[in-house]
Every structure is written in C-alpha cells, then in structure tokens.
C-alpha cells in the first residue's frame, strides 16, 4: 500500500502535464487489449478453418471446400475462397495467385489495424513528459528568482525534482507501449505469414489436381482413339 501511495505521489508531482500522459496511456492500453483479443480470435478461427479445409483439398474435394469457405467468416476462408472460386474456371496458376493476392492485400490492413498507433502513443507520452518538464523548470527558475536567498537552494531542488517526475511518467508510459507494439506486430506478422502459406498450399493443390485431371483426360482420349 505504501508503494502504491508513493507511486501516486510521484506521478502527481509532475503537475498538470501528467494528466494527458495518463490519458495517452489509458487509450494505448485500450488499443492493446482490443488488438490482442482480435488477433487471438483470428488465429484460432484461421487454424480451425484450415484444419477443416486442408483434408478436403488433399482429396481434391474442392466443391466441399468451397461450401465451407463461402459460409465461413475467417480471414483464411475469405482468402482461400478467392482461389477455390477460380478452380476449374482458369487454367493458369498466375490467375489464381493474382485473385488470392488481391484478397490478401485487403486482409492485411485489417490484421495490422491500429497497431501503429502504439508507436505514436509512445512518442507522444515521451514528448509530453519532456514538455511538462521544461514548463516545470521555467516555473521553477521564475519562482527562485523572487524567493529569499536562504530558500533558493531548497526551492530549486524541489522544483527540479517535481519537473523531472513528468519526464519519468512519460517514459514509464512509453516503454510498455513500444513493447506491446513489437509483440502485436509480431503476432500480426505470424497471422499474415500463415495466410500466405495456406494460400500457397491451396494454389499448389488446385494446380496439381488440374494437371492430374488433364493427364487422365488425355489418357482416356488416347485409349478411345486407339480402340
């Protein structure tokens, strides 16, 4: 309890500029919580959908896979549906890849949404802390100029100490923001990488199935021709 009261007094000593720093910190924590739960849900949904679709793709049951991706709202389902809708419609691998790439480009901003705000909040908290310290030092020197000679030293030390607590509060707010920004960016990167791998595997299986079907059709045609 004593440590908590000491921390509150330390923060309060920074003056009015501590208030916007605290507001920035609260908003930043809100973004962290929202993005964390969104990314966790997206990861689980993508994994669950991929576990359903992958066996169907291996078996060449593209119609069943299409039914799942059309109804599923996960990012991986949306991405794979773009490729599966072109299965049997186009022959070139590049056409399927372009269709999926277009969808992926629309998914990535949704995955990375608002994470960049955390770097802004970290910089803003640091700058607000420095600005509060400068304002505090200006006030301190102004107060010392009119103080009695015997009180100047003690007053200056107290004023500088209070001004520095504003910078400390800004840094204490900025450091977690940068850490969370790195962690969330890493998590988002893993999701995007997983989507790219799933897309590549899907394209390979679609192309392989198409090639197998064409070879089988050619053999049937050759047998009929020979007979």
pLDDT (tens digit, 9 = 90+) per residue, 67-117? 999 989 999 999 999 988 887 666 678 888 899 999 999 999 999 999 999
Answer for the pair 108, 96: CB distance below 8 angstroms, yes or no.
Answer: no
159-206 pLDDT, tens per residue? 777 778 888 899 999 999 999 999 999 999 999 999 999 999 999 888
Least confident of 36-50, 69-83, 148-162: 148-162
Number of domains in the chain: 1
Where in the sequence is the domain holding 161, given as residue range(s)?
Answer: 2-226
Q: What is the pLDDT of residues 3-15, one digit of tens each?
A: 555 556 656 665 6
How far is Cα 215 from Cα 185, in angstroms, rounded to an integer?
A: 45
CA atoms of 54 and 24, how far apart (whole Å)? 44
Question: What whole-number distance in Å separates Cα of residue 197 and Cα of residue 6?
Answer: 51
The whole-model pTM stands at 0.80
User: How far is it, in rounded angstroms, from Cα 47 to Cα 156?
Assistant: 61
* Cα 77 → chain centroid: 20
Residue 3's Cβ-count burial label (10 Å; 0-12, 13-18, 19+) is exposed
């Amino acid at each position: 309890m004593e440590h908590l009261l000491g921390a509150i007094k330390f923060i309060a000593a920074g003056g009015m500029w501590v208030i916007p720093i605290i507001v920035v910190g609260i908003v930043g924590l809100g973004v962290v919580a929202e993005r964390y739960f969104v990314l966790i849900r997206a990861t689980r949904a993508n994994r669950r959908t991929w576990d359903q679709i992958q066996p169907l793709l291996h078996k060449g049951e593209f119609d069943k896979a299409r039914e799942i991706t059309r109804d599923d709202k996960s990012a991986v389902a949306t991405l794979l549906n773009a490729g599966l809708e072109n299965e049997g419609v186009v022959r070139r691998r590049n056409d399927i890849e372009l269709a999926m790439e277009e969808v992926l480009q629309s998914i990535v901003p949704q995955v990375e949404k608002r994470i960049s705000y955390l770097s802004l909040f970290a910089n803003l908290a640091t700058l607000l802390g420095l600005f509060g310290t400068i304002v505090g030092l200006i006030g301190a020197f102004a107060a010392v100029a009119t103080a009695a000679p015997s009180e100047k030293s003690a007053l200056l030390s107290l004023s500088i100490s209070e001004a520095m607590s504003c910078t400390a509060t800004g840094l204490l707010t900025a450091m977690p923001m940068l850490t969370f920004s790195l962690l969330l960016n890493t998590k988002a990167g893993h999701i995007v990488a997983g989507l790219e791998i799933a897309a590549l595997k899907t394209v390979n299986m679609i192309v392989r199935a198409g090639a197998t079907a064409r070879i089988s059709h050619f053999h049937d045609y050759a047998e009929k021709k020979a007979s």
